Structure 1
Amino acid sequence: MGILMEGILLEKVIIYGSVAFIVLVILGIYFFKLRRETKQTEKKISFAKEHGLFEPVSLHPVININSCIRSGACVRACPEKDVLGISSGRGTVINASRCIGHGACFHACPVEAITLCIGTEKRGVDLPHVSEKFETNIKGIYIAGELGGMGLIKNAVEQGRQAVENIMKDLPESKPDQLDLVIIGAGPAGISASLTAKQHKLKFVTLEQDTLGGTVYTFPRSKIVMTNQMDLPGWGKVKLHETSKEELLKLWNNALSKNGIEIRQETKVEEIIHNDGSFIIKTKTGDELKTSRVLLSIGRRGTPRKLGVPGEISEKVAYRLLEPEDIHNKKIMVVGGGDSAVESAMLLADNNKVILSYRSDAFSRIKPGNSTRITKAIEAGDVEVRFSTNVAEIHPESVILKNSVTGEEEIIPNDLVYIFAGGELPTKFLEKVGIKITRKHGEALLKH
């Protein structure tokens, strides 16, 4: 009996010991993986801080570490790489400046530990005052999309629709001598608003200072990524997964064509004048439109300044660098002489052949640190700089560069062009209209 009990006890010891060993192995693997993941994340954060990518530009996630359950759902859901990561098992922000407001992390978090905020304690973001109905402090003028802080396609499309629905609730009786609504801007919010206005049989006009293609092609990525489908008014359910700019443009045009909507392109609004309860819209071309309501769906960052050269409206051209780590073995032309151009050229130079074109004969307005780094990059042959040059033409496989001193032109093989020529910010335009601008310091725009 004693021998039997000893045998049973030994068997249990072996079983429990084996289970304990397996558990220890699993825990060891887990903690090893966690430690490695944390080190990788900390390394990425250091790189982001060194290259000025850590501070958010606009909308960005804020993670409540006390609520985070370490599921990693936010990291997996984010379509942009390395915006979020895992450190010590918890979600953390890495490259906040690359966040472009998808909100996928917000929706993916199983415990609602993420809030989407605008601005930080150090860096405030100026935004127009907008009510929950999308109306500004000026009665009759509404804002939807990126200008109000919520960019990205799905958010902007939904806001464009909601803004028009709210306008309908407070729209005065239609008058024969004026429009019901003028929509300014033909990005995702403006297109959605136009389609919604058409559904409600409003008398409206949509004005776009560029071309519809120009609006789409200013997107920073060559591929548009969405994790959730959107409901495009007058068209139906749409899911964009790795959709090219050209495919997106085709979608917009098809939706507009199907609903008989024509956008007035290359029509820049110069002034909005109050007129006894209505508004007069003055354009750069000299047109005057009288309307009951106005919806602004222009970009918050302002309009990227274009070069105005043949071929600029092309999928290979972008005005903001978002994914340098994903670009390899390309011939790239970076245009500009400010910090954005210099920093982008150096980031791209790690895995590509980069030529930086600048119209002046020397850098004169960049930070001292960037000046030192670009000088070293030039000396090492990592970046080739062409001073006193301007892009004359952009072709599918090349760029024609013109020397402003000699007048000589050179055909340069090329895959991608990044233009950093500044922008025309809308702040003065809004202030002239009378729209109140407030500075947001880390305020929540989207929370559970």
Structure 2
Amino acid sequence: MALQESRAAGIGEPISLHPVVDPLRCCGSGSCVKACPEGAFGIIDGKAHLVNPSVCIGHGACVASCPFEAIKLVFGTEKRGVDIPLVKPNFETNIPGLFIAGELGGMGLVRKAAEQGRQAMNAIRDTLKGNGGTDVDVLIVGAGPAGIAAGLGAIQHKLSYRIVEQEDSLGGTVYHYPRNKIIMTAPVQLPIVGKVKMSEISKEALLEFWNGIVGKTGLTISFRERMESIQPNGKGFQIKTSGGEYSARAVLLAIGRRGTPRKLDVPGEDLPKVVYRLIDAEQYRGQKVLVVGGGDSALEAALAIADEPGTEVSLSYRSDAFGRVKVKNRQRLEDAQKQGRINVLLKSNVLRIEPGEVLLELESGHTTLPNDAVIISAGGVLPIDLLKKVGIQFETKHGTE
């Protein structure tokens, strides 16, 4: 039933790193079903299947739980390829001095991403000789597990560094997980800190752990600073960010595959009340909120906020129907709409955002909504095109490791 619902909703294709089951090895034990906290697995005709691909985040708990090694993690599918950058065993790309570690390189697992960050910084140390005459020895882009581990490695190796992170908090992809989400990981080996034992841990506890590491080690991170371009300059690289320009002898890209949030490019989008994700629905109690987008994340944000006391929620989407969403989300939205808890505005576009209101364009004309907050959930712009312009080579995976 879950698999049929996913296919009917047009979300039968997994997003990134995901498991595939070898039916000849699978005995239908159900260990993967029990091990997956996302509920992505089910048993069909005595064999394990990925029945809810859209919720799979590729943490690999299913692989570890299978007693017959019938599951492996792969990228892409026969229908949808995934571009993965080509890197050497030391995580260096085809461009000397430019390294990639973590989710962008295909590794979203917390422990392995951190390990890649540590090893990549070891490799960078080995390639840097003498004084390069740049602002920093290494510029690290991203403050998830790979970026944090790499930063600790830079401190350990006495390299000058700068970490830039486009979000306002560390954690990388983990930062975007829902509240109290249980994350599967394993003991992590970190420079300076040593071995840290972890198994099942909530999102909040993991972020608290990373913040504690930063506080104890003095790791410096520049938040709300987005990478915009990278250019070789003879001594290394010239990097332009939203906060300035820097020269570095080496660059480590430890960024996720979520990309930069897609913006509407309308007047007023830079107001403080505009955000690109829902972190905590409680903060919107008693407020008039506009959610923009037509995917599951937009629907789930609108529904969560509508559950808070005193909220008035509107959902704006440019198309005439919510096509690629889970059946349960569509049903919940229809119920909320009938109950008058969410005002759904299909075939609508935001024209202007002002401190106390939002102007929208509808089929019938323009309308103005009183507004306290706007959440834009329109997906992300992946950094792949930017990296290809630099000259980084990619390969397209179609269901392969």
TM-score by length of 2: 0.78
Counterpart position of 1:64: 22
Q: What SS class does the counterpart of residue 223 from structure 2 fall into?
A: coil
Counterpart position of 2:251: 294
Q: Which segments of 5 or more consecutive residues in structure 2 lack a partner in the other structure?
A: 264-268, 360-365
Which residue identity lines up with residue 32 of structure 2 in the other structure? C
**In 1, distance between residues paired with 2:189 and 2:323?**
48
Task: Check the 8 A contact 2:228/2:242 in 1, yes or no.
Answer: yes
Task: Check the 8 A contact 2:111/2:185 in 1, yes or no.
Answer: no
For residue 369 of structure 1, report the CA deviation from its aligned partner.
8.4
Counterpart position of 2:397: 440
Task: Check the 8 A contact 1:61/1:114 in 2, yes or no.
Answer: yes
Counterpart position of 2:159: 202
- Correspondent of 2:260 among 296, 303, 314: 303
Distance 1:334 1:108, change over 3 A: farther
Q: What SS class does the counterpart of residue 210 from structure 1 fall into?
A: coil
Render the CA deviation track for 1:141-167: whole Å, top value 9, x for unaligned: 111111112114223212211221232
Task: Check the 8 A contact 2:18/2:56 in 1, yes or no.
Answer: yes
Task: Check the 8 A contact 2:291/2:298 in 1, yes or no.
Answer: no
**In 2, distance between residues paired with 1:259 and 1:369?**
44
Match status 1:239 vs 2:239: no
Distance 1:153 1:338, change over 3 A: same
Match status 1:409 vs 2:374: no
Task: Check the 8 A contact 1:217/1:315 in 2, yes or no.
Answer: no
Render the CA deviation track for 1:229-284: whole Å, top value 9, x for unaligned: 33343334142634243x43332222122212211222222221112251122223
Task: Check the 8 A contact 1:345/1:356 in 2, yes or no.
Answer: no
Write out aligned runs for 1:161-172 (5 A): 161-172=118-129
Task: Check the 8 A contact 1:144/1:163 in 2, yes or no.
Answer: yes
Counterpart position of 1:323: none
Identity of counterpart residues, as a percentage?
A: 40
Counterpart position of 1:337: 293
Counterpart position of 2:266: none
Distance 1:338 1:44, change over 3 A: closer
**In 1, distance between residues paired with 2:169 and 2:250?**
22
Distance 1:230 1:340, change over 3 A: same
**In 1, distance between residues paired with 2:389 and 2:44?**
46
- Correspondent of 2:6 among 48, 64, 71: 48
Q: What SS class does the counterpart of residue 244 from structure 2 fall into?
A: coil
Which residue identity lines up with residue 71 of structure 2 in the other structure? I
Which residue identity lines up with residue 191 of structure 1 in the other structure? I
Distance 1:367 1:251, change over 3 A: closer
Aligned residues: 372
Which residue identity lines up with residue 199 of structure 1 in the other structure? Q
For residue 356 of structure 1, report the CA deviation from its aligned partner.
5.6
Counterpart position of 1:23: none
For residue 88 of structure 1, report the CA deviation from its aligned partner.
2.7
For residue 382 of structure 1, report the CA deviation from its aligned partner.
7.7
Task: Check the 8 A contact 2:172/2:256 in 1, yes or no.
Answer: no
Distance 1:135 1:80, change over 3 A: same
Q: What SS class does the counterpart of residue 43 from structure 2 fall into?
A: strand
Counterpart position of 1:30: none
Which residue identity lines up with residue 256 of structure 1 in the other structure? V
For residue 430 of structure 1, report the CA deviation from its aligned partner.
0.7
For residue 213 of structure 1, report the CA deviation from its aligned partner.
4.8
For residue 105 of structure 1, report the CA deviation from its aligned partner.
1.4
**In 2, distance between residues paired with 1:159 and 1:429?**
22
For residue 135 of structure 1, report the CA deviation from its aligned partner.
1.6
Which residue identity lines up with residue 24 of structure 2 in the other structure? N
Q: What SS class does the counterpart of residue 107 from structure 1 fall into?
A: helix
- Correspondent of 2:380 among 423, 436, 441: 423
Render the CA deviation track for 1:53-98: whole Å, top value 9, x for unaligned: 32111110011111123332222222322x1122233222111221
Counterpart position of 1:179: 136
- Structure 1 window deviating more from structure 2 (47-56 vs 290-299): it is 47-56
**In 1, distance between residues paired with 2:248 and 2:168?**
23
**In 2, distance between residues paired with 1:134 and 1:382?**
53
Distance 1:408 1:369, change over 3 A: closer
**In 1, distance between residues paired with 2:221 and 2:301?**
36
Distance 1:357 1:425, change over 3 A: farther
Task: Check the 8 A contact 2:32/2:62 in 1, yes or no.
Answer: yes
Counterpart position of 2:231: 273
Task: Check the 8 A contact 1:271/1:281 in 2, yes or no.
Answer: yes
Which residue identity lines up with residue 434 of structure 1 in the other structure? G
For residue 345 of structure 1, report the CA deviation from its aligned partner.
7.2
Q: Which segments of 5 or more consecutive residues in structure 1 lack a partner in the other structure?
A: 1-42, 319-330, 394-399
Match status 1:316 vs 2:280: yes
For residue 335 of structure 1, report the CA deviation from its aligned partner.
1.6
Task: Check the 8 A contact 1:125/1:441 in 2, yes or no.
Answer: yes
Task: Compare the two structures and name the one with the higher helix fraction.
Answer: 1
**In 2, distance between residues paired with 1:271 and 1:369?**
33
**In 1, distance between residues paired with 2:171 and 2:210?**
13
Compare CA radii of gyration and give the structure with the larger one.
Answer: 1
Match status 1:97 vs 2:28: no
**In 2, distance between residues paired with 1:343 and 1:425?**
22
Task: Check the 8 A contact 1:317/1:418 in 2, yes or no.
Answer: no
Task: Check the 8 A contact 1:62/1:115 in 2, yes or no.
Answer: yes
Distance 1:87 1:369, change over 3 A: closer
Q: What SS class does the counterpart of residue 438 from structure 1 fall into?
A: strand
Write out aligned runs for 1:372-383 (5 A): 380-381=338-339
**In 2, distance between residues paired with 1:439 and 1:230?**
30
Task: Check the 8 A contact 1:145/1:298 in 2, yes or no.
Answer: yes
